[in-house]
Amino acid sequence: MSRRLIVMKFGGTSVGNAACFRQCAEIVSKAAQQDRVMVVVSAMAGVTDLIFKTIEAARHADTAVTEMHLQEFRQVHRELISNLFDPGRHPAALEFVEQISEQLQRACHALSALRSDISAQTTDSLVGLGERISSWVLAHYLQQSGVAGEYVRAEDILITNNNFGNAAPDMEATRAACQATLLPLLQRDAIPVIAGYSGCTADGRTATLGRGGSDYSATILGAASGADEVWIWTDVDGVLSADPRICPDATVLPEITFAEAIELAYYGAKVIHPKAAFPAMNAGFSVWIKNSFRPDAPGTRITRSTSSPINSPVKSVTCVKSATLITLVTRRDVHPVELWGRLFLRMGQEQTEVLFATQSSPEHALGLVLRKEDSPAVLKMIQNIFRLELAQGVLAPVEVDNDVAVVAVLGESMKGKCGVLGRLFAAVAHQRVSVIAVAQGASELSICFAVPAASAADVVSAVHGEFCHRREEAVPGCMGPTLAAMSGAQ
Ligand code: ADP
Ligand code: ASP
Ligand code: MG
């Protein structure tokens, strides 16, 4: 029987220092005794943020801060190398770090001199440099440990469109590149080690897949090379019933579906990138989330359908802590849907992500709940599209509430269950928190609602306590149509 092909992705904390690199190498070498393995690596924890901060300082010609960050970038990687490599491998590794550091330094000096805005394309050519070092280092450390690690440039195998900063894969081209580059390596039992987060456009420019994108790199490359499974190694035991930083008593979910994972990530669970489930779902392989600090813990399996018995209709509670509610109200004598249609069309063209929207017809009001960082662009869009309507009073002045958080409760087995909403909002009411807006998807996979940002953690804890801790009694199924969408202030 041919050996399975497993893609292993190591996140930032899993490659946070030399000891973590040793642990990754041990995990890889153990797995390679049984399976064929390819590896995708994130930048060391904090390094991508550091690059963004360096670029920002350079752009503002803040030389002192730029130099301080550049020095930190060099230092973090030099220290890694001196703690990891034998004296014989030391010079080549230092030389590699120096080359990359110089590339970043040259670009930052140019930016400082120009004091100009930086294009998304130039940003993408720099922000993946942390991954370039960590993947090179892991490949060469595997070799030092007697394991056949082979550094492969992500730009040679992951082909994307040119939506810089949030690129999408060209699966056809990526498949062809993987066939040509990875398969010969795998056939001779080498272990390809690839930088996460970046790929390359058809015309040879580096493009990133968005923040946290190494998970996505892993499933894209898994789908393109016919992997049997993708294992995402991180710093928690799997997907938990809530963010452990908010609910320290959150428990590991043994299994969740792709649909649940997508929803969970969309509504703030950082443990997996929102798009990472798609390539796996299309190709039909499972994704495991595992703890690189406790490699023997079973982890969470993300798969097409789950078989484990469910004792709560709600599996997980998540939260987007910084959101904005934009409310648009029309005059009563106009048909609002035509106006909303124009706005949604434009948001679609700009690929704006709406967390949820509510429409209450009698009030002629549309509530749009967005990630806070997306709201300035949408407000600008509204001013442009509705310039006349706003000037003539067809639309009332736009109301903006920047202090909201979105809480989402998720679980496929909420479908058809009576009483979930009642229990949910009773738990919220116990916190003496007023719900600002609410929506339940027609699929009944999630219920999300906006609350004041300052109450978000209390609400998540209360809802988690209600559904994920209490022993569940059998919940009767509902008859007839279920609530598809609700809106309004409470
Ligand atoms: P990595 O660097 O390995 O990619 P991330 O920091 O991106 O790791 O994601 C892992 C973190 O996600 C965990 O440390 C945890 O704090 C956070 N997290 C938020 N929600 C959840 C959840 N529902 N389950 C597990 N982890 C979660
Ligand atoms: N290093 C990148 C980030 O911090 C990608 C990743 O770690 O997934 O966003
Ligand atoms: Mg991550």
Q: Where do the domains of the chain lie, and which CATH numbers do they carry?
A: 5-303 (3.40.1160.10), 316-468 (3.30.2130.10)
Q: What is the mean pLDDT of residues 249-275?
A: 94
Q: How confident is the model at residue 413 (pLDDT cuts 50, 70, 90)?
A: confident
Minimal-distance CA residue to ligand 2 atom 8: 212
Per-residue confidence (pLDDT) for residue 485, from 0 to 100: 35
Q: What is the mean pLDDT of residues 382-409?
A: 96
* C-alpha 355 – ligand 2 centre gap (Å): 22
**Ligand 2 atom closest to the CA of 11, numbered from 1:** 7
109's tokens: 């000096």
* C-alpha 339 – ligand 3 centre gap (Å): 38
Whether pLDDT at 355 is above 80 = yes
What ligand is nearest to the CA atom of residue 270?
A: 1
Give the pocket of ligand 2 (CB within 6 Å).
11-12, 42-43, 48, 196-197, 211-214
Q: What is the mean pLDDT of residues 451-478?
A: 79
What proportion of the chain, given as a percentage, has pLDDT over 70?
Answer: 94
Question: What is the pTM for the complete model shown?
Answer: 0.92
Minimal-distance CA residue to ligand 2 atom 5: 212
270's tokens: 């950082």
Whether pLDDT at 136 is above 50 = yes
Per-residue confidence (pLDDT) for residue 191, from 0 to 100: 98
Per-residue confidence (pLDDT) for residue 236, from 0 to 100: 97
pLDDT tens column, 275-290: 999 999 999 999 999 9
Mean pLDDT score of the chain: 92
**Ligand 1 atom closest to the CA of 238, numbered from 1:** 25
Residue owning tokens 């999630």: 446
* C-alpha 465 – ligand 1 centre gap (Å): 20
* C-alpha 373 – ligand 2 centre gap (Å): 18
What ligand is nearest to the CA atom of residue 291?
A: 1
Q: How many CB atoms neighbour CB 205 within 10 A?
A: 16
**Cα–Cα distance measured from residue 16 to residue 13, given in angstroms and rounded to the nearest whole number:** 5
Q: What is the mean pLDDT of residues 129-152?
A: 98
What ligand is nearest to the CA atom of residue 236?
A: 1
56's tokens: 């920002």
Q: How confident is the model at residue 429 (pLDDT cuts 50, 70, 90)?
A: very high
Whether pLDDT at 22 is above 50 = yes
Determine contact, residues 111/104, Cβ cutoff 8 Å: no
Whether pLDDT at 365 is above 80 = yes
Sequence-ordered list of residues with C-beta below 8 angstroms from that of 430, at least 6 positions apart, any chain: 462
Whether pLDDT at 56 is above 50 = yes
Whether pLDDT at 193 is above 70 = yes
Whether pLDDT at 480 is above 70 = no
* C-alpha 245 – ligand 1 centre gap (Å): 9
* C-alpha 236 – ligand 1 centre gap (Å): 7
Ligand 3 is an ion; residues with CB less than 5 A from it:
11, 212
Per-residue confidence (pLDDT) for residue 333, from 0 to 100: 86
> Which stretches does DSSP call E strand in 270-398?
286-291, 300-303, 316-329, 354-360, 365-371
